[in-house]
Amino acid sequence: MIEALKQAHYGVGMLRPARVQHGDCPYLPDREWIADIVPASYFTAGEYESMLEQGVRRSGHHLYRNACPGCDLCIPIRIPTAHFRPGRTQRRVLRRNADLEVESGPISDDAEVFALYQRYNRERHGHREPISPTAYRTFLGEGPYPGALIRYRLDRRLIGAGWLDVLPGGVSSVYFAFDPDYSDRRLGTFSVMQEIAWARELGKRWYYLGFWVPEGKGMAYKADFKPHEIALHGRWRAAGGWSALR
């Protein structure tokens, strides 16, 4: 898909995806992570959005598509913003976090946000070496498409931050980090509901939640947001109660 789209704009053979071996799979045990990557700057926000159903995602200044041998368990998922209704457990999460202040604004790499990102990666993902400001900006602070940062505060203290791409037809989740001291609040679930509501306020039809990995630790919860669509074999398909509403 990447090659076909690029060739349509710039001619055959001018862009060749680089295949990169990233090491262990971040979602499933005993698997390796391999992806094809291209510079994101070659594509408009609309072109990128059209490739989401092909399993293409953005990371920093690159677009990538997983090419892991013998595995296709990273399934794109999106939610129709006008039709989402929180379930029972999600409503409890909303009540639990009713005391938080939620604010949206431009992407920022200020000290407060960077410190939260550092701590989250150190304590939740075991990053022993400090992440440099340059690495942070390359991954989240800079991007080829319009973006937004949603902050979550408790008594003025920043306890969560979500980075988003704002695309022509929807909003795409890029990353979310939170203060590990507040894990019991289920801030990841809370942030998804806030981002869906924010996308709806912008008049966007879709909220793209990245990959749903049914067997992946920490990823299976995404199917709890209903209704939703999943992309199988490069096409969006109704799932999660959505077909009854179409």
Query: Which of 157, 164, 181, 154 minimizes the C-alpha distance to 97?
Result: 154
Rounded Cα distance between 240 and 221, Å, is: 12
Question: Mind listing the pLDDT tens digit for each residue in 30-56?
Answer: 888 999 999 999 999 999 999 999 999
Model confidence over 165-222: pLDDT tens digits? 999 999 999 999 999 999 999 999 999 999 999 999 999 999 999 999 987 777 888 9
Lowest average pLDDT, out of 13-17, 23-27, 76-80, goes to: 13-17
Full-model pTM? 0.91
Cβ pair 139, 58 in contact under 8 A: no
Domains of the chain: residue spans and CATH? 2-74 (no CATH), 77-245 (3.40.630.30)
Name the residue with higher pLDDT: 131 or 97. Answer: 97
Phi-psi category of residue 155: left, alpha or beta, with phi > 0 → left and psi -120 to 50 → alpha: left
Instruction: Tell me: pLDDT of 127 over 70.
Output: no
